[in-house]
Structure 1
Amino acid sequence: MAQETANSQENSNDLGTITVEAEALSIVTEGTESYRAPLTSTATRLDLTPRETPQSVSAVTQAQIEDFNLDTINDALESTPGVTVERVETDRTYYSSRGFEISNLQVDGLRLPMPYNNVHGDIDTAVYDRIEVVRGATGLMSGSGNPAATVNFIRKRPTDSPQASVSGTLGSWDRRRLELDVSGPLDDEGRVRGRLVAAGLDTDSYLDRLHRERGVLYGVLEADLTDSTQLALGHTWQNNNTDSNMWGALPLYDSAGSPTNYDRSTSPAPDWSYWDGETHRSFVELTQRLSDNWSIKGTVTHLDMLSDTKLFYIGTVPDASTGRIPNSFYLSKFDRHLEQWVADIHAKGNIEAFGRTHQLVLGSDWSQSRVQQSSLYAAATEDLPPLDEWDGSYPEPEFGDPDFVHDVTFKERSLYSAGKLDLANRWTAVVGARLSWLDHVGEQYGSSQDTTLDNELTPYAGLIYDVTDQASLYASYTEIFNPQTATDRNGDFLDPIEGTSYEVGIKADVFDGGADAALALFRTEQNNVAQLVGNIGGRDVYEGADGITSEGVDVTLAGELTPGWQASVGYTYLEIEDAEGEATNTYIPRNMVRATTSYRPASLDALKVGARVRWQDDIERERDFDDSKTRQEAYALVDLMASYDINENLTASLNLNNVTDEKYLTSLKWDQGFYGAPRHVMANLTWRY
């Protein structure tokens, strides 16, 4: 895929002028030291600057990933404005934005259906150049889902010139990581290029007994079949092995309602529990330039993901007088297989009309995801001592036959189109629509998932007015839908949940064009949400009702503020209410700050120093076992970094995370939780050619 950048390490694959308007890949952040992504196509598939995109957008660039050792997607998204990372367990994570669960992911702009809105295991960042996030309803490119955000993972691609790097990291809790990245042409003419990325991690944890091993291998080839035709194909393998992982987490209060306040290292996992996962992701792309302004691209991807686990869940709270936990436990052997196919074909280019130039994209996509799950259960045999005294010893059970078998296939196909219309001097419209067909078949926990939707229309509209050459006002209206399986009085499935986002704001190029600034006011609504209204013949009956509404403010700044000073800063304010006007989803903070910054002084340009700050106000949730609430007070996490270029090839760096040693719960999404990592350190040595 052709890629353009001003840096000498760019992926600009000339291909004799096959610069094919390269999707979200048209700007790579690798090698730029920038905290800003100048172009994005995540929202509309059009190549737009942040000012030209009538929604809130953010990016975590390669420089941020390297500066702060953000080697998992969870780490990267914790640096993203307006996003919360709900680490509910050690190996299962939810994400939220604007009061809703994020249910939409993309890879290289191609939608990646996300069954059940969570991620199993850690996704390694070694494969990716950057991570882009568009907040609000994103149905135009994402299909069905929640009006929260879309997260787009942009893969690294082969480079025109040879380059290589080897990076090694040592850290607290016997952390060891090694990463290799080699790229460049494979023939004398440079018409065939390749890239190979490999990474391995082996680490203990601040949590008792927890141990992780992770391996990643990514290979990609690009070939110029002709001067106007390019073929790309690649494969990613990742293996996650976790010993003594959590299923659920710690009880947060005892039988008298008092907070348990365990040590941060306390874990409810026995020594025999594990969560292993293996992922294979393949893709093939064919791009054909049709003219100087038009190209067509077809992509097919295949995902195969296997999970194998033995799990232990505490289903009660400790006795207030003894600290012991009665044997209300769930012991399970859980297996999961996700197989997914996604295909997309689209044409993109410029058209001339009414004396002006407009951008247009026309396309179609199709996906099929099959999820198969089974659980084997065993009975608990004994109580547990107080968790902060427990060594993880518990009889490993013999598991019987599966208590349930889960098998669901999700199919979705669509036609879509979007355009950037140059209406008049200083006036631009970004408009689009998606027409979708869905077919879900199978059973989940004994409940039928058979659902069919036809001709579901999803509009997209944005209007931009350039107040000056550096600043623009904008307004947008976006939608998304989500099918549901609740039934009405006639036994028919309810119509889909409707998600709608309204957004107005101002965006500007600041600091002599080196940075992007934005202020957004938004309102997001979910309507036609299933509400229980009765029971007929033993069958629950539902009707559609108003759901959650969120309103708030996003303020962001990203880029170079002065020579050598990079920053990405975001503040988010949220109000989240249910249909009765009461505050809801109170586990999501109402005020958040996400900030990363680095500085390379001109007088000592071998040195770089930086900081990352994550602050949120207090959160709470109602307890399951009594009428009280569990609270997490406001807290700030501060990370520091410093790196030094020993010579032109060798760089040493040091990261000190949670420097104030803050004790905090990673999430209150569930009635259980666990504590985040205490102060810890990582030292890194990187060689580059």
Structure 2
Amino acid sequence: MVVRLNRHDEIQRTLLAALLLAGSALAPVVGLSPALAQAALPAQGGTSEPVRRFAIPAGPLDRALTAFGAQAGRQVSVETSVVRGISSPGVTGQMTAAQALSHLLDGTGLTARQTGNVVTLGRDSATIALAPVRVGGTAPRRGGRALAETATGPVRGYVAHVSNTGTKTDTPLIETAQSVSVLSRDFIVDTGAQSVSQVLAYTSGVQSQPYGFDSRYDQFMLRGFGANTYGNYRDGMRFATGSFAQFRSEPYEAERIEVFRGPTSVLYGSNNPGGLVNFVSKLPTATPTREVTMVLGNWNRFQGEFDLGGALDAQGLYRGRITGLVRDSDTQVPQTKDNRIAIAPSLTIRLGARTSLTLFGEYQKNLYPMWPYYYRSAQGLTHVRLGDPAFNALRQQQYYFGYKLEHRVNDVVTLRQNLRYGRVFFDGEFTDAGAVLGPTEIGLYSGRWRERLEGTNIDNQAQFRFHTGPVKHTLLFGVDYFRQRLDSEYGEGNDTFTTLMPRSLTHPVYGRVAIGNLTTQSHTYQTIDQVGLYGQEQLVWNRWHVLLGGREDIVATSSRNQMTGVTTTNNPRAFTGRASLLYLFDCGVAPYFSYSTSFLPTSGTTSAARGTRAFAPTRGDQYELGVKYQPHDFNGSITADVYDLHEKNVLTTDPDNVRYSIQTGEVRSRGAEIEGVMSLGNGLSAMAQYTYTEAKNMRSNTAQGKIPVAVPKNAASLFLMYTVPGGMFRDLGIGGGVRFTDKNWADMANTQHNDALTLFDVNLRKAFGPVTAQLNVNNIANRRVAICNTGNCTWSMGRMALGSIRVRW
């Protein structure tokens, strides 16, 4: 359940100031009627409360409520904006929870009243609802200190209750009428995930690492559609992407990673219809964070991590945090590296009781194999590498910086502005098969991609929370801007039959290739400018939850051939929308229905015979029917859904001129998903999922009726973790998981398939006070199968063993 704070004062007409930057202005606020706040917080059962000892110092009310939740044995998930700027006198001594809460609220203008199992906070005769407060279990903890859950903050165990990825407002997941998964920090640590792709391996609706081992990118598909190109988000803002250059996110820097399935354009603009993955960064908190970790693993892995932060002054006006990682490692592709340096500082400044500014940034330097592929013969995939260690390196540097500014005008109006600017410098060199020279020999050519990628995001938001009679409203208006610049150059050498570099298929020798001069084959400069205006209304009446949203996007794209001087442009615009209905029963069951749409600009033109017309955006639409369950008697949640998703205006080969395409294609994906997650007070946590996906090319001139590449019909997984709560084995953790991926097609014609794959993972850990030792072995049986994607083939990820020592103080 969620606590809401709503004020019962006459709300004066308020004029909303225009949001700063780029001249983006938002409409003024109209007059609002008085709020009728009637939400309540359920309390623990029983009429006589036990007496407990409380020791909560005076200070900000949000911190006091967090400490109260921990000491009273209650989990508190509260929107911090409602108590921001209010101080509490604290409480010390032996008393009941109700008495302690009354002391905490002394002098705040708020009073507590308990009726049965309902606790209500009020001011004079008016009621102020606490909003989502959940009772049962213990409060989230980090390093032995209690924490409150917010939409972007830490999650205790595996079960999150609040998110803003699906609505851009802090909304309980049980009230979000679309499929959203949250992977918590604890889950990431327990699974030993070393990439975003590995984090997603236990999530419903996601095909993680669909093309086999490839450390260059975090690759994932959502509901049968590729999502890592346009659905790669960090802190609610899309990353720019090039042909090869892509912003990478380091899992150690994540507070949580969230998956939003289905069309997302109504809030985020252009995207494939499958959904997006939002990486939520670690940012400063009032609770001190002090952690250092050392990791050793197979493939000569040496890795160090640190996470340090907390209040920088006694008043808590300044909070800082810095997270970093250094890694030197080989990979399962011999003579290649997986090296990384990453550092992410952030600073939060309270500019008053109602205003906060968070500055953030990140720098990464990475070294990976550029070409992880192997030669496939008529008999199957071999172990002959196509990339040669003398010329097989992907060197990438990236940085970004930005800020998150929030100002709470009053209890109704909140203004936000999020900005980020970043760049990627990419240089990738490789060798690949160019021709078959004989029955036991192939010839290699060489190539190099160089890309410079630049991305800018600005998202301006105005949020209004108010009541009209018995109806509660959360109204959101926004104007966002996305800008991308990409300079991409490709050169090639050894590309004639006489200059190909020979490689034996029976006795290959590596590291002795003679790379010739590379000649530029293509050089383009591409730009994207996108402006979106969006609005969203969330209405709550009784137990009905209605969401209506709409967005208009205006996009300008251009591509200049730097070798010929020819520039092509396209200026599409699109309207997208979403509507949903949910009913929340007292027992925690919430059936829902939603309809949503998407769009994605498509580059290129038709043939001259068809008028050389610029392509229209692809359009997606989805119907989703589901049910969510959040039980009251234990900390867990279950989501089950079925969906029907279509993408139209898909490119397919022009039958009159095979060098061009036309937009008559259509792809359909239908499926069902069920996902359950729990964290029990007895030390048991679990995540389980099953996914059924039926994808098909409904209209295509080359693949009519065929199943898209790399989309399995069935996938399932289960991860369990048990921590001994007491006794001589206290704090000993034992866990493991199993992951199954069905066979799937390796080519568009559906003539070759990738085998089904079942993998087993194990986890052991033991805490010794502030020191935790942990062992993770993923794919313990070292099961590997050939994975091909329309001609490019590699092997699936082999066994990864990691041992770590983590110190928190």
Q: Same fold (TM over 0.5)?
A: yes
Change in 2 beyond 3 A, CA 1:114/1:309: closer
Residues 1:336 and 2:451 are matched in the alignment: yes
Match of 2:733 among 608, 611, 614: 608
Match of 1:481 among 576, 586, 599: 599
Change in 2 beyond 3 A, CA 1:120/1:366: closer
1:594: how far off?
A: 3.1
1:566 is matched with: 685
Q: Give 1:567-606 correspondences, 5 Å limit.
A: 567-580=686-699, 582-603=705-726, 604-606=729-731
1:511: how far off?
A: 6.7
1:82 maps to amino acid: G
Match of 1:350 among 465, 468, 472: 465
Residues 1:287 and 2:406 are matched in the alignment: yes
Say which structure, 1 or 2, has more relative contact order (CA 8 Å, 6+ apart). 1
2:773 is matched with: 652
| Higher alpha-carbon deviation: 603-612 or 292-301 | 603-612
Mapped contact 1:25–1:154 kept (Cα < 8 A): no
CA distance in 2, matches of 1:432, 1:628: 39
1:10: how far off?
A: 10
CA distance in 2, matches of 1:280, 1:451: 29
- 1:554-573, Cα deviation, whole Å (9 max, x unpaired): 11112225631111211110
1:303 match: secondary structure:
strand
CA distance in 1, matches of 2:488, 2:190: 39
Residues 1:240 and 2:366 are matched in the alignment: yes
Change in 2 beyond 3 A, CA 1:160/1:394: same
| Higher alpha-carbon deviation: 4-13 or 133-142 | 4-13
Mapped contact 2:245–2:453 kept (Cα < 8 A): no
CA distance in 2, matches of 1:7, 1:313: 58
CA distance in 2, matches of 1:137, 1:161: 36
Residues 1:435 and 2:504 are matched in the alignment: no
CA distance in 2, matches of 1:569, 1:449: 48
Q: Give 1:387-406 correspondences, 5 Å limit.
A: 387=505, 389-406=507-524
1:190 maps to amino acid: G
Match of 2:538 among 390, 395, 420: 420
CA distance in 1, matches of 2:181, 2:555: 30
1:487 maps to amino acid: T
Change in 2 beyond 3 A, CA 1:546/1:673: closer
Residues 1:671 and 2:798 are matched in the alignment: no
1:159: how far off?
A: 1.8
1:44 match: secondary structure:
coil
Match of 2:231 among 104, 113, 119: 104
Change in 2 beyond 3 A, CA 1:512/1:267: farther
- 1:65-91, Cα deviation, whole Å (9 max, x unpaired): 111221321211223221112346442
- 1:12-49, Cα deviation, whole Å (9 max, x unpaired): 6975249999xx9934564x541122111112212222
| Higher alpha-carbon deviation: 408-417 or 376-385 | 376-385
Residues 1:457 and 2:575 are matched in the alignment: yes
- 1:284-341, Cα deviation, whole Å (9 max, x unpaired): 122111112321011210011110121112245685x53x22x1x3311211111011
CA distance in 2, matches of 1:218, 1:650: 24
1:86 is matched with: 210
Q: Please, which runs of 5 or more residues in structure 1 have no aligned partner?
A: none
Change in 2 beyond 3 A, CA 1:207/1:540: closer
2:396 is matched with: 277
1:584 match: secondary structure:
coil
Mapped contact 1:91–1:121 kept (Cα < 8 A): no
CA distance in 2, matches of 1:486, 1:82: 33
CA distance in 1, matches of 2:169, 2:514: 54
Residues 1:218 and 2:344 are matched in the alignment: yes
Q: Give 1:86-485 correspondences, 5 Å limit.
A: 86-87=210-211, 89-102=214-227, 103-115=230-242, 120=246, 123-242=249-368, 245-247=369-371, 249-252=373-376, 254=377, 257-262=378-383, 268-316=387-435, 321-322=439-440, 324-325=441-442, 327=443, 329-380=444-495, 381-387=499-505, 389-422=507-540, 424-443=541-560, 449-454=568-573, 456-484=574-602, 485=604
Residues 1:16 and 2:85 are matched in the alignment: yes
1:605 maps to amino acid: R
CA distance in 1, matches of 2:620, 2:241: 17
2:338 match: secondary structure:
strand
1:684 is matched with: 804
Mapped contact 1:642–1:654 kept (Cα < 8 A): yes
1:359: how far off?
A: 1.2
Bigger Rg, which one: 2
Q: Please, which runs of 5 or more residues in structure 2 have no aligned partner?
A: 1-61, 88-129, 133-147
2:758 is matched with: 636
Mapped contact 1:518–1:557 kept (Cα < 8 A): yes
CA distance in 1, matches of 2:492, 2:774: 47
- 1:640-671, Cα deviation, whole Å (9 max, x unpaired): 00110012x11001111211221223x43332
| Higher alpha-carbon deviation: 538-547 or 578-587 | 538-547
1:420 maps to amino acid: Q
1:592: how far off?
A: 0.7
Change in 2 beyond 3 A, CA 1:546/1:205: closer
CA distance in 1, matches of 2:708, 2:219: 14
CA distance in 2, matches of 1:341, 1:274: 28
Mapped contact 2:250–2:342 kept (Cα < 8 A): yes
- 1:407-432, Cα deviation, whole Å (9 max, x unpaired): 1000100111112112x432211111
- Tell me the TM-score normalized by structure 2: 0.77
CA distance in 2, matches of 1:76, 1:40: 18
CA distance in 2, matches of 1:490, 1:175: 56
Mapped contact 1:20–1:295 kept (Cα < 8 A): no
2:38 is matched with: none
Residues 1:516 and 2:631 are matched in the alignment: no
| Higher alpha-carbon deviation: 386-395 or 210-219 | 386-395
- 1:88-146, Cα deviation, whole Å (9 max, x unpaired): 64424532111111122222122334455x77485311221011001111111221121
State the number of aligned residues.
664
| Higher alpha-carbon deviation: 47-56 or 274-283 | 47-56
- 1:226-254, Cα deviation, whole Å (9 max, x unpaired): 11111111110011013xx24261123x2
Mapped contact 1:567–1:596 kept (Cα < 8 A): yes
1:602 match: secondary structure:
coil
Change in 2 beyond 3 A, CA 1:222/1:7: farther
Change in 2 beyond 3 A, CA 1:248/1:499: farther
CA distance in 1, matches of 2:632, 2:514: 61
1:173 match: secondary structure:
coil
1:385: how far off?
A: 3.6
Change in 2 beyond 3 A, CA 1:16/1:305: same
| Higher alpha-carbon deviation: 297-306 or 309-318 | 309-318
CA distance in 1, matches of 2:424, 2:621: 32
- Tell me the TM-score normalized by structure 1: 0.90
CA distance in 2, matches of 1:628, 1:557: 33
2:150 maps to amino acid: S
1:506: how far off?
A: 1.0
CA distance in 2, matches of 1:578, 1:466: 37
Calculate the aligned-residue CA RMSD, in Å: 2.9
1:426 maps to amino acid: R
